[in-house]
Structure 1
Amino acid sequence: MTGREASGTEPVWVGVDLGTQSVRALAVTASGDVAGAGSRRLTGRRDGPRHEQDPEQWWDAVAAACREALRGVPAGAVQAVAVDGTSGTILLTDRDGRPLTPALMYDDTRAASYVDRINEAGGAVWRRLGYQRMQPAWALPKLLWLLAEGVPGGLPAGARLAHQADFVNRRLTGHPVAADLSNALKTGADLLAEAWPRDVLDALGVPAGLLPPLERSGTPLGTVCAAAADATGLPAGTPVVAGATDGCAAQLGTGRLTNGSWNSVLGTTLVLKGVTDDLVHDPFGVVYSHRAPDGRWLPGGASSTGAGALARDFAGRDLADLDRRAAAREPAAALAYPLVSEGERFPFLAPGARGFRLGGTGDEADDYAAVLQGVAFVERLCFDHLDLLGAPTGGDLTLTGGAARSAYWCRLRADVLGRPILLPRQAEPALGAAVLAASPGRDVAEVAARMVAVRTVVDPRPDRAGRFDDAYLRLVGELERRGWLPAETAAHARARTPR
């Protein structure tokens, strides 16, 4: 028991989520009650394949969100803080932690021309780690671009790479910090050795002193310094704990960390992440695995389908009304593959993939129903692909993200998947970061189970069993016919569909 816990004040742990559009801070008790919350908007710059943000804006937003979350929380209650960030977002800093470059965001693909060279140099490592090859938006290609073009005149002495969470953690502690293994995966960290693959990085020309040390998520990195305390309202001396990517934090925030448990985050796009005892190897290169704080694995992938298709195609419409009307169209007359942007990443890799809608009646409700069902079909195909790889998929399945607010869409997804789904009471990456803040010296699965409560369980409706199978297999066939979906995944999806 810490001194603060012994004082009689109910302890809280602070989780900070650095998202794309905002920073979110939560002060959470051991039982998962939210004692305070705060948020601040973020802005960025997009230009074709480029997507940048100003790292100083992150710090200003973190400071304001933390002050808001801690309003009314006694200073003696705060036990620790942890920060999660978007996966693959990096920048270069000077020896004092000041930005030398803008932040290149998680989906910035300007460095695509470096990928072949990286995969040639590090292919053996990437194959051993199960994901086979790096992708254009990953951090290591962006690092090579920054080294070549990001700092005119070359790097000053003491320059350092920083992931998004590293940048904020340095401001919190006032000194250089280690990077967590979760954020370091896309920068090339060898998660089996828990070290940088120095021979690969030497071959690529990455200076040895540029990279931070590595620690697992949940490892203490230092304490909040006086300057950060003044800015954020976090008491000076508060432990700062290594966080994770936002996807891994979202998994922790579901409270389900047993082998075979999965979380499906449906927001603008669809992201699946699960928990496995063993590393998952994907010869198709679409599933990659993070290292969990307890040494197990968090495999997953991100699709380019998602609710962003609704925001694009049904802007300004009453979605609750469309939900009600879509319920009468099961299955829809139209068949949709609702990509939010060009190219697919999971459950297959197809940079040339394009969304489509086939058939239909021209009725708005039917077109809307086809989008909801199409996303659910892709979600089902993700699980079929994971099963093909031998990944355990039979544990609890939680649904999170903005789309989980639609009771109808959740019920539809349970029907299409043919399995119960759990909806947590409070599930978001900031809660997962708070779980990490509370985890040093404790079993992270037990901490998560106490902090996260289930709001409701949605069972598949017996009268919907098999209703969507024909439409699902039709989509599988279309994706295979267009040359995007590998024949092995398509065949496995058919074999798993009762006929």
Structure 2
Amino acid sequence: MRAYFIGIDIGTQGARTVLVDQRGALIASASRSFVLDERAREEQSPTIWWNAGVELLDEVLNSLPADFDKSAIRAVSVTSTSGTVIPLDQNNQPLHNAIMYSDGRSAEQGKRIQKIALRHVKDGYTGFNASSGISKMLWFMERYPDKRNRIALWIHASDYMVGKLSGVYKTTDYTNALKSGYDVANLKWPAYIIDELGLKKEWLQAVVPSGTVVGRLQEDLATRWGLKEIEVVVGMTDGCASQVASGAVKPGDWNTTIGTTLVIKGVTRNQVIDPLGRLYSHRHPEGYWMPGGASNTGADWITVDFSSDILQWNQAAEKLIPTGKIAWPLLQDGERYPLSAPHARAIVPEQASKAELYAANLEGVACIERLAYEIIEELSGEKVAAVYTAGGGSNSDVWLKIRASMLNVPIYKCKAASGALGAAIMAASNTYYQSVIEAAPQMTTMEKEVYPDDRLVVRYEDQYQQFKQKLKVLNYL
């Protein structure tokens, strides 16, 4: 018998809701853009999110055929931005607008917190900055001291939606809690948060594995939508939800999303400790680790210089690879991952036609991706078994061929890797399936499988080593 699951994604500029079955087949979906003011990058009213969420659920659930079995809808979960926090009063009402992850006003607090954390945390996350939830909590306490005594609880963006659905606000998950200072290695709130930052213990949520059922849909909402009091599953950050939706959920699996930037996330058995701070690790629901990092290198150069006829450029590149040319299409100055080089600049090969430059740039991004995975393997002592890919950059067949051969691992292109689908998979992970490792392969679909081309593998090994040598000569690596 079919079972169904709801996933809700609350983004910065809008929201999306999906209803899928236990195989991940899309039954219905709806999306909304928020009506926001000029301060939306700093603060947003959570009421906007909830109103949009209700409208979307109205649209999705009321559009179902009359003979649709709503009693088979099992669970709902939510994904939203990492680092966005909200102070609640004793009645679970926001004391203030949500302070957004993109709000830079807490930069000074982030620096202070990082110094304190480095004294107390040996092998854990200490990369606190203006985008961290804990930095925003301290900023709020210092900016609005008159509201301090009215704070009853600090929550995250997805927690607010979970709370409105279930009435349970006190619980969050590993991924949301990380940037609020939770120690995901020892599974506790560290003492320095209370002793040195001045937060109160009762303000901090209980933290559980992602995918944990925390409550049931409130009766009035169940009645509104003609549902049972279905299970409500704790939320998850958007980056981790997208990783889940890509299918990269078991040790050795990795996800590369190439959009404006290149984002890499994966699963390891052991925690990855990066002394240079390029990588940080979320905690996997099954106790593994989910390290990841984001590069400034991506596909933005295509939009700027090659968007006029992308099919033409891809066809030309197919005939030109391997180019043997060293290129790095870095549009902005500086790189953060896989190498920390604020002085880095683009590498442009000499005497290259525009078609050759396009093909060489595809190879250059693949070199950066390989370097990222090489560093991951060195730090973790584990092998990359497969790469699942998403983002606009995964739509080029020739680029997939280049990347699979440069990495020398199979690449699986996901049919859909949205945050909303990731939330739906998490909703199913412990209500229908036994784990997210069981749920994800059943609920994701691979649109394409690309394997290394033996001829290219040999040639790209030499080209990659030349690329690394060039970075060393330039003092980037």
Question: Aligned runs of 1:344-493 on 2, under 5 Å?
Answer: 344-350=335-341, 352-361=342-351, 363-440=353-430, 442-485=434-477
Corresponding residue for residue 277 of structure 1: 269
> Alignment partner of 1:358: what SS?
coil
C-alpha deviation, 1:386, in angstroms: 0.5
Would the aligned equivalents of 2:83 and 2:101 in 1 still touch at CA under 8 Å? Answer: yes
Sort the Cα spacing of 1:39 and 1:419 in 2 relative to 1 into closer, same or farther, 3 A.
same
- Does residue 31 of the first structure (1) align with residue 23 of the second (2)? yes
CA distance in 2, matches of 1:326, 1:258: 34
2:139 pairs, out of 140, 145, 156, with 145
1:318-374 per-position Cα deviation (integer Å, ceiling 9, x unaligned): 323322233334355875434465553321334x34542423447443443344333
Structure 1: gaps of 5 or more residues: 1-7, 486-499
Would the aligned equivalents of 1:173 and 1:228 in 2 still touch at CA under 8 Å? Answer: no
- Does residue 318 of the first structure (1) align with residue 309 of the second (2)? yes
Corresponding residue for residue 70 of structure 2: 75
CA distance in 2, matches of 1:54, 1:326: 47
Would the aligned equivalents of 1:125 and 1:190 in 2 still touch at CA under 8 Å? Answer: no
Sort the Cα spacing of 1:457 and 1:484 in 2 relative to 1 into closer, same or farther, 3 A.
same
Would the aligned equivalents of 1:126 and 1:134 in 2 still touch at CA under 8 Å? Answer: no
Would the aligned equivalents of 1:160 and 1:210 in 2 still touch at CA under 8 Å? Answer: yes
What's the C-alpha RMSD, in Å, of the aligned pairs? 3.0
- Does residue 158 of the first structure (1) align with residue 151 of the second (2)? yes
1:221 pairs, out of 190, 193, 214, with 214
- Does residue 193 of the first structure (1) align with residue 186 of the second (2)? yes
389-398 or 165-174, larger mean C-alpha shift: 389-398
- Does residue 179 of the first structure (1) align with residue 172 of the second (2)? yes
- Does residue 299 of the first structure (1) align with residue 299 of the second (2)? no
1:417-465 per-position Cα deviation (integer Å, ceiling 9, x unaligned): 1221112343333222212111226232112222223333101222212
1:14 pairs, out of 6, 25, 35, with 6
Sort the Cα spacing of 1:390 and 1:321 in 2 relative to 1 into closer, same or farther, 3 A.
same
1:117 pairs, out of 107, 112, 120, with 112
Corresponding residue for residue 327 of structure 1: 318
C-alpha deviation, 1:82, in angstroms: 0.9
Sort the Cα spacing of 1:370 and 1:153 in 2 relative to 1 into closer, same or farther, 3 A.
farther
- Structure 2 letter corresponding to 1:286: R
CA distance in 2, matches of 1:469, 1:107: 39
- Structure 2 letter corresponding to 1:416: M
CA distance in 1, matches of 2:463, 2:100: 36
2:301 pairs, out of 288, 292, 309, with 309
- Structure 1 letter corresponding to 2:210: S
Would the aligned equivalents of 2:181 and 2:189 in 1 still touch at CA under 8 Å? Answer: yes
Would the aligned equivalents of 2:45 and 2:97 in 1 still touch at CA under 8 Å? Answer: yes
CA distance in 2, matches of 1:409, 1:180: 36
1:40-96 per-position Cα deviation (integer Å, ceiling 9, x unaligned): 234667789x65444333223323333343331542121000111222222334444
Sort the Cα spacing of 1:192 and 1:470 in 2 relative to 1 into closer, same or farther, 3 A.
same
Sort the Cα spacing of 1:190 and 1:35 in 2 relative to 1 into closer, same or farther, 3 A.
same
Would the aligned equivalents of 1:424 and 1:452 in 2 still touch at CA under 8 Å? Answer: yes
Under a length normalisation based on structure 1, what TM-score does the superposition of the two structures give? 0.84
Structure 2: gaps of 5 or more residues: none
Aligned length: 471
C-alpha deviation, 1:412, in angstroms: 2.1
Sort the Cα spacing of 1:399 and 1:437 in 2 relative to 1 into closer, same or farther, 3 A.
same
> Alignment partner of 1:155: what SS?
helix
- Structure 1 letter corresponding to 2:211: G
Would the aligned equivalents of 1:23 and 1:58 in 2 still touch at CA under 8 Å? Answer: yes
Sort the Cα spacing of 1:419 and 1:440 in 2 relative to 1 into closer, same or farther, 3 A.
closer
> Alignment partner of 2:110: what SS?
helix
1:124-167 per-position Cα deviation (integer Å, ceiling 9, x unaligned): 554322x4543443222232222222x47433513432211112
83-92 or 105-114, larger mean C-alpha shift: 105-114
- Structure 2 letter corresponding to 1:203: E
Would the aligned equivalents of 1:335 and 1:359 in 2 still touch at CA under 8 Å? Answer: yes
Would the aligned equivalents of 2:322 and 2:456 in 1 still touch at CA under 8 Å? Answer: no
Would the aligned equivalents of 2:182 and 2:188 in 1 still touch at CA under 8 Å? Answer: yes
